Structure 1
Amino acid sequence: MISKSGYSYNSSDNIVDDTVDLRVNSAGHYKLVHFPRFETTRPTGRPDYQLLYIASGIAHFQKGETYVPLPAGSAVLYHPNHTQFYYYSAEDSSEVYWIHFTGNRVSQYLSDWGVPDNDFYNVGINSRYISFFNHIIHEQQLKKENYMELCKYYLIQILILMNRGMKEASAPYNNHVSIINKTVTYLHEHYNEPISIIDLAKENHLTPNWFNHCFQEYYGMSPQAYLLNIRIDKAKEFLTNYMLSISDVALLTGYSDAFYFSRIFKRKTGLSPQQYRKNCMVFEEEHSYSPTHSIIDD
């Protein structure tokens, strides 16, 4: 069995700490190779919270009277003093990351970050979870300055990402989430180039109608509208650079025709590019800092 772990507290410290909002107590990683089975039995649970993430293989958790096999991409959250029975086996190639945490605002944070009260979650397979778990373990082992704060924020990122993962996994278009995410990244990186949504759909082996539907469901707008928002936002940024002409701004945002760009910009913002630039100049003049000097006689 491969095992690594780190701890933020000493044996004499209290596992429950109500003097802080959130604290990571410990974290670790188990991977069964030759060891046939590893079992955890806690009839009365632990006094702190525990989050487990199945990175690969299968892990078995008791629910009711039976054990439920949870595949990779699953997460389990145990609240304080909840019964815990689970096991991993080499036969199932189990690989699991775990973390214990405490604090006086944990319940509120879980609610704010959209983590539901039920125990088992499908959060999807994401290498970033593993990266953050490993960061926490590493920080707890080295215990350098402010390591507990870093561990806290790594945990926050894990919980927020898992909330996203739950939503994506439960969406009817979940098989296409990676395509949508890749498309968004592409639009941000190539907004100033000619972009065909039909070609993007074909490259991802989707019909244009289904591609548009999936994107609309996820972002609340079509990919064309998303691209337009990127271009308008970048145009606003470029218009504050008074060395650039309107034609320059048009080209930098993917429009070869400055007049067409101006029409699109005004339709979207209610102002022509010239009017928007003028308003920016007036705003800067009104809010510029002019230090006053006073002369004090001796």
Structure 2
Amino acid sequence: MIKATEIVHFPAPPAPYYLECGYTVYTPGHEHPNRRNMGKFDLIMMKSGTLFIGEEDREWALTAGQSLLLLPNRYHYAVRPCEDETVFYWVHFYSLCAWAEFPADQQLAPVPQSEEHYRTFLTSPYYIQLPKMWDMPYPERTHQLIEKLLQLPGIRQSSAYWTQQQTFEELLRMMDLRQLEQYVSPVVAVAEKTEAFIKNNYRAELTSEDLSAALHYHYNYITRCMKQVYGMTPNDYLQHYRLEQAKLLLLKTEWPIAEIAKYVGFKNAPYFSSRFTLKNGCSPQQFRKQYSHAPNRSKS
């Protein structure tokens, strides 16, 4: 079984979205067209035969059950014609967010844009990890999803649109390496467990000993995992999450600032206000006011 050697990382939301798909049959002597800078991703999923294809300085001989993700800003070309009947499915999709390709042995892409992503999309990013080329673990189920997509152009667009996107997202989920236990790195697993523990206990006074006892790892290792996956130490993530929960309470309640600070886990209200101001560029009071004042209405 061929494991992925490169992985393409997509921060979401928003998730990549579906454009179109197709079913291609090449008889012996036919070959894949040469294309440059398509501007969209081209996911090839093999059903039978052998497809000889290249991207820049890489070349592959794809066989049944394998997939290849061609990138939108690269040169794709036929290495040589097919030697026997070759059948494959293809899906074109697009991503609004900045994607990146990394070697598979680099456990996870760096996350320097996590805060910027949060400001833009109001949530922390989840990194979808799609293999560049691999042996698909569930090729038959993958082919069934593409067949479903192929049948949708014949129905009303108002129905087809939602079914297309839902079916495509199911395809992404099946190919997301983070959903497959055999591909999830220990670093990612520890970081995700740490994140979940912090979210479930953020109101308590969490210490390094608490995290180590709950997760059964040394705190230094937990910190390395969190920094690699989320770009933050556990304490940084805890403070980040507390401040985001405070923003929600400032918008949804009329609680005093000191009460909100205490509720989300800050013992000291002035310290809470200073951290909130540093992170958001305004004090908690100013944040609340900018969303609570009704607009002035001039009288005619």
**What is the TM-score with the length of structure 2 in the denominator?**
0.51
User: Residues 277 and 284 of structure 2 are in contact (CA less than 8 Å); yes or no, is this contact kept in structure 1?
Assistant: no
In structure 2, the CA distance between the partners of 1:126 and 1:289, relative to structure 1 (3 Å rule), is: farther
* Cα distance in structure 1, aligned partners of 2:244 and 2:146: 37
Aligned residue for 1:101? 91
- Show the counterpart of 1:25: 21
Matches within 5 A, 1:214-229: 214-229=225-240
In structure 2, stretches of 5+ residues that fail to align are 1-16, 36-41, 71-75, 103-130
Q: Secondary structure at the match of 1:25?
A: strand
Q: Which position in structure 1 is the counterpart of 2:294? A: 288
Q: 1:51 aligns with which of 41, 44, 54?
A: 44
Instruction: Name the residue aligned to 1:36.
Output: none
Offset of residue 27 of structure 1:
6.8
Structure 1 residues 135 and 110: CA distance shift in structure 2, 3 A: same
Q: How does 1:116-155 map to 2 (within 5 A)?
A: 121=132, 137-141=147-151, 143-146=154-157, 147=160, 151=164, 155=168
SS in structure 2 at match of 1:76: strand
Task: Please give the alpha-carbon distance, in whole angstroms, between the structure 2 residues aligned to 1:233 and 1:210.
Answer: 26
Return the structure number with greater relative CO, CA threshold 8 A, min gap 6: 2
Aligned to 1:76: 68
Instruction: Note the C-alpha offset of 1:160.
Output: 10
Quote the residue 2:187 is aligned against: 176
Structure-2 change in CA distance of 1:185 and 1:213 (3 Å) = same
Mapped to 2, the partners of 1:86 and 1:223 lie a distance apart of: 55
Deviations along 1:256-295, one digit per CA (max 9) or x if unpaired, are xxxx331431341348xxx93432454346x62344454x
1:284–1:207 CA distance, 2 compared to 1 (3 A)? closer
Counterpart residue number, 1:35? none
- CA distance in 1 between partners of 2:247 and 2:273 (Å): 12
Distance between the aligned counterparts of 1:86 and 1:186, measured in 2? Answer: 54
What's the RMSD between the two structures over aligned residues?
A: 5.4
For residue 113 of structure 1, what is the amino acid of its counterpart?
A: W
Task: For 2:270 and 2:83, locate their aligned partners in 1 and report how far apart those are by CA, in whole Å.
Answer: 63
Following superposition, the deviation at residue 81 of structure 1 comes to 4.6
| SS state at 2:189 partner | helix
Check 1:46–1:281 CA distance in 2 against 1; reply closer, same or farther (3 A cut): closer
Deviation at 1:44, TM superposition (A): 0.9
Structure 1 residue 207 corresponds to structure 2 residue 218: yes
CA distance in structure 2 between the partners assigned to 1:124 and 1:210 by the alignment:
32
Residues 65 and 133 (structure 1 numbering): CA distance in 2 closer, same or farther, change over 3 Å?
Answer: closer
**What is the CA deviation profile of residues 7-59 of structure 1, one whole-angstrom value per residue up to 9, with x for unaligned ones?**
xxxxxxxxxxxxxx97322379xxxxxxxxxxx977512689442399xxxx9
Q: What does 1:244-259 align with in structure 2 at a 5 Å threshold? A: 244-255=255-266
Residue in 1 that maps onto 2:111: none
Separation (CA, whole Å) in 2 of partners of 1:141 and 1:65: 32
- 1:124, distance to aligned residue in structure 2 (A): 10
Q: CA deviation at 1:222?
A: 0.4
Match of 1:113 among 84, 99, 116: 99
When residues 110 and 243 of structure 1 are mapped into structure 2, their CA distance, relative to the original with a 3 A threshold, is closer
The structure with the larger Rg is 1
Deviation, structure 1 residue 232: 1.5
Deviation at 1:151, TM superposition (A): 3.0
Q: Structure 1 190/51 Cα, relative in aligned 2: closer, same or farther at 3 Å?
A: farther
CA contact (8 A) 2:33 2:78 kept: yes
CA positional deviation for 1:201: 3.6
Residue from 278, 288, 295 that aligns with 2:285? 278
1:95 match: none
- Residue type matched to 1:176 in 2? V
1:238/1:249 contact within 8 Å kept? yes
Mapped to 2, the partners of 1:125 and 1:182 lie a distance apart of 27
Closer, same or farther in 2 for the Cα pair 1:65/1:53, shift >3 Å? closer
Could you tell me how far apart the structure 2 residues matched to 1:292 and 1:195 are?
51
Query: Number of residues paired by the alignment?
Result: 227
